[in-house]
């Protein structure tokens, strides 16, 4: 274990299943995916059977608020301890380089730990490690119940760097001799292929750290973004799993007075990716509202009394094209109901992004008990399927330009919650590596 304190990085002791383990059944997708599709998780459970699996170590959020939530948390924590006692892990000290291929695209990343002392998810944060979206504090308690008392952490957190020249992560693939192969297998449920290797050459590790240091240096950072020095340096931006990292931070703040500054919980294991990776796409996160009790079009007209237009579309494709192109005046988003498809255009938006303008409406509308609930979903097929069911409606949103992410966060702060997704649902990070946090 090595620490690079100025950039908030720890080269951690990482746990992986022992040689000969069934990795296809071990690795499962991030717990916050397919939350409105219990069939997916039932299929996962059937495929895993009684094999050791990360499915037994996490709480898929499809079960949040369900009768089995508490028992699943208890089972997960017991399974962590049992797997450790049974010797199911080998320990690797170093950075793991990973390649994930899905939907014809390959993304590259580095597995390491970040210092939670250099992370602040609060609005207006100027910390080295920063959230890209607003943190919903109400979402932390169930995650804290899982992490409190847990022996292991299993990350699905994806953290971004802004390296347009692709000199840091991408350069590792050019030195295969520096890697010790660790795993290479097909993921379950048609989610692609995962390959990983331990960086065993210290010179390569140090070159990576110098790359991070250069990105964080004032002489590079301030001219790059054209901002004054009253803005704090942003090196690591949390792209996926912000609430999981915020949970780790909250637990660390509770522990710190009791355990001191040298404790495993001070750091959190993550995967670092380059926002400019060609295999990384930013997909929109759509909204589906269930059990609608009031007319959504009447509510929209009330919320936006001036400059609102609602344009019917003959088919979903017409709505999607208009929203993706933002081809009507103002900001636009799609509305899907059992009756059909429309494009909603707002001439006087309340936010710089359509997702912010829409979310402000949804927050107000749902406070009045206009519906039973809301979910945030990925993919055109999912929103079209769920929103067209009786009693439901859905909102289709455009994607944002990933190249603008860092500067937007630096200038404007965290984006509206659930603004973007790093890839489609099946491209989300799979739980693979683990780390002791006790």
Give the pLDDT confidence score for residue 421 in this predicted structure.
86
Segment-wise mean pLDDT, segments of 10 residues, the chain, 438 residues: 96 97 98 92 96 96 90 95 98 98 96 98 92 82 88 96 96 90 97 97 96 97 94 95 93 95 97 96 94 95 92 97 90 97 94 89 93 92 96 95 90 85 90 97
- Which pLDDT score, from 0 to 100, does residue 327 have? 84
Nearest alpha-carbon partner for 112 in 4, 19, 191, 213? 4
Please identify which residue in the block is written with the tokens 């491209």.
427
Q: Cα separation of 164 and 410, whole Å?
A: 17
The kind and range of the H/E element at 73 are helix 69-85
- Taking only the tens place, the pLDDT of each residue in 348-399 is 888 878 998 999 999 999 998 999 999 999 889 999 999 999 999 999 999 9
- The DSSP bridge partners found for residue 98 are 109, 196
* pLDDT tens-digit series, residues 270-294: 999 999 999 999 989 999 999 999 9
Closest CA to 389 of 284, 295, 321, 289: 289
Rounded to 5 degrees, φ, ψ at 299 are: -65, -40
**pLDDT at res. 203:** 94
Decide if 403 contacts 225 (C-beta within 8 A): no
Relative to beta strand 236-240, strand 158-161 is: antiparallel
Prediction pTM value = 0.86
Give the pLDDT score at 25. 98
Residue 29 has a pLDDT of 97
| Token pair in block for residue 417 | 């919650």
- Residue 172 has what pLDDT? 94
Separation CA 31–CA 55 (nearest Å): 9
* Per-residue pLDDT at 87: 97
Q: Which residues contact 36 (CB under 8 A, 6 or more apart)?
A: 62, 288, 375, 377, 382, 386
């Amino acid at each position: 274990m090595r620490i690079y304190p100025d950039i908030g990085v720890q080269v951690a002791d990482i746990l992986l299943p022992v040689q000969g383990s069934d990795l296809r059944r071990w690795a499962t997708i991030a717990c916050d995916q397919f939350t409105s599709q219990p069939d997916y998780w039932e299929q996962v459970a059937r495929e895993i059977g009684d094999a050791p699996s990360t499915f037994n170590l996490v709480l898929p959020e499809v079960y949040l608020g369900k009768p089995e939530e508490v028992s699943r948390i208890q089972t997960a924590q017991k399974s962590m301890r049992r797997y450790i006692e049974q010797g199911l892990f080998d320990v690797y000290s170093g950075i793991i380089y990973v390649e994930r291929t899905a939907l014809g695209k390959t993304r590259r990343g580095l597995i390491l730990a970040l210092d939670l002392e250099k992370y602040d998810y609060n609005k207006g944060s100027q910390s080295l490690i920063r959230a890209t979206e607003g943190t919903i504090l109400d979402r932390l308690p169930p995650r804290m119940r899982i992490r409190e008392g847990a022996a292991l952490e299993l990350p699905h957190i994806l953290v971004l760097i802004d390296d347009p020249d692709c000199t840091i992560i991408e350069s590792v693939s050019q030195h295969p001799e520096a890697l010790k192969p660790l795993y290479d297998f097909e993921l379950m449920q048609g989610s692609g292929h995962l390959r990983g290797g331990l960086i065993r050459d210290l010179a390569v590790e140090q070159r990576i750290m110098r790359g991070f240091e250069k990105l964080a240096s004032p002489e590079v950072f301030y001219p790059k973004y054209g901002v004054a020095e009253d803005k704090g340096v942003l090196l690591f931006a949390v792209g996926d799993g912000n609430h999981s990292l915020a949970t780790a931070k909250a637990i660390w703040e509770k522990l710190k007075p009791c355990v001191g500054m040298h404790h495993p919980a001070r750091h959190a294991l993550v995967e670092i990716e380059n926002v400019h990776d060609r295999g990384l796409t930013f997909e929109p996160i759509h909204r589906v509202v269930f059990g609608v009790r009031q007319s959504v079009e009447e509510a929209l007209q009330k919320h936006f009394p001036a400059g609102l237009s609602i344009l019917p579309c003959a088919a979903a494709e017409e709505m999607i094209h208009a929203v993706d192109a933002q081809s009507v005046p103002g900001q636009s988003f799609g509305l899907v109901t059992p009756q059909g498809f429309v494009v909603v255009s707002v001439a006087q938006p309340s936010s710089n992004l359509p997702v912010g303008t829409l979310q402000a409406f949804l927050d107000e509308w749902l406070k009045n008990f206009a519906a039973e609930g809301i979910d945030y979903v990925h993919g055109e097929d999912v929103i079209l399927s769920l929103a067209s069911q009786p009693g439901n409606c859905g909102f289709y949103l455009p994607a944002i330009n990933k190249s603008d992410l860092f500067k937007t966060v630096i200038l404007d702060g965290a984006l509206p919650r659930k603004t973007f997704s790093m890839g489609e649902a099946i491209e989300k990070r799979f739980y693979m590596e683990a780390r002791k946090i006790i």
